[in-house]
Structure 1
Amino acid sequence: MDYTSSHSSSRHRHHKHHTNGGIGCQQGGCLTCSDYNGCLSCKPRFFMHLERNGMKQIGVCMTSCPPGFYDIRSPERNTCTKCRSECDSCFNKNFCTRCRPGYYLHLGKCLETCPDGLMPSDLQRECVNRCPEGCETCVNTGLCTRCRPGLYQLQGRCHHVCPEDYEPNDKLMECTPQVHCEVGEWSEWSPCSRSGRTCGFRRGQETRTRLVLQYPSPFGRPCPEISDIKECLVKRKKCEGRGKNERKDRRNRNNRRDKSSQEVLRDRKRERDKNPAERNNSDNRNKTEHRRRRDQHSETVQPEDSVLGHHD
């Protein structure tokens, strides 16, 4: 019979046997026992299990067998039998339910290497199917740790196209949650204005704005308009100091225009001085223009004299 170690010890052997109720049978489940060997037989539905302490075996009656043992029932006695050495737990001698480290369970057997088409799982201590489609490395069939090139990982799976509400991250090669734009409340409407002024007009514009609280990710919903404009009407009023400023602006414009005309005349004069032929042509053109204007003036004055003579 197989056994396990026990920390209980006895310095003296006692070969005296006891029936139920004896001094050595105080442990529950014992039917007969020995002061030296413990339980020798068990009550019905209990399993005899031997624990070893040095060179001595101690019988213990248990309701179920401990890990690493399986139970055998018979009309004579129920016993606990040790599993195979590579089994951590078993159903019977030929069927393991969990393997010891370094072995992998497959069809009730504990194997050092898995059959073709399967891969070992150190976490489960089992031979499992190969990684899911598109997966390069995985913990088991349902948890991928790295996808093949061009695929995006999400929750242990590999995707050609990310699911809804997710977007591809080409840097991490993962599907990350989409981030949508969020904006705050509208501000109050600004005073009615036109070209930066708030007076001297009847029709103008009012504006309002709102802040962006969360900018979107590349594939998230974009931000709506953050500024708004509407037409407005105001009672026309004069701007204080506006007439004085307008006269000053008019003088400045006239001065600039006069200065520009003088510069043009100076430039023309310099060109004529450089080219005598051009100067002569310019003088002739000026004389011709002067005669033409004089003749036009004479023609205009002559009919008026005629009309005056008729009335006289």
Structure 2
Amino acid sequence: MQLRLVSWFFITLNLMEYIGSQEQPSRVRRQGRMHRNMSQTCPGGCATCSEYNGCMSCKPRLFFHLERRDMKQIGVCVSSCPPGHVGQRSPERNECIKCKADCEACFNKNFCMKCKNGFYLHHGKCLENCPDWLEPNNHTMECNDIVHCKVNEWSQWSPCMKKGKTCGFKKGNETRVREILQLPSTKGKPCPHTNETRKCVVKRTKCQREPVLFCFFFLAGRGKERRRKPKREENKGNGQENRGQESRRQNREQENKSKIRSKKRRTQDKQQKLASISTAP
């Protein structure tokens, strides 16, 4: 029984060695086709390559990148990594590392710099919705801090006025204003009112008249308009004025004549009365 077990052991061992000797040449041949050094016929930038897998290693300062072609990935050497990848240098090999699925550009594998459409960037991460204490910016696609409205201090109260005047009344209104320094964001606190008005009481004072210079300039302008009249109108006006003077002169002469006639009548009446008295018995 023991001899039979020993014989089976040696038979099994010899069989395994035979199978291993048959598989080793094929494995060596297969590795030789896939990994042999083909630096003289490799694509540009490759240090070593394989006819099945493309570049296996790159020349200095280039990045190794796996590029999908149909159903398999081919190694290529590039000077800069394509979108969605970031170049990482190390003593062993420079290679392109893929960003996260929701990240379009990243600083490293765990820190995103630009998110894909539909995501907001916040502290290197891509979020579908911003936190409650932040608000989404649909222009930059980032989560920004909430900005509240800011205003400066109130100004001094204005003089007491009524209908735009500061005189001729007893009760009026005075106002004060303040300026907006920072407009609020969408979720920020809105701006308060920027002007206030209150009633005021002052001692009634008379409003000063308009300056005399205004009348002077007004009359001067009227004088210029008169001087600009055509000569015919001036001559016509002079003729009418002359006729008026002549008629007034004639009226004065007639009045003088009538006065003289009436004076003569009174004198004659007196003389007749005196004569009748002297002839009386």
* TM-score of the aligned structures, taking structure 1 as reference length: 0.43
Structure exhibiting the larger radius of gyration computed from Cα positions: 2
Structure with more of its chain in helix, by fraction: 2
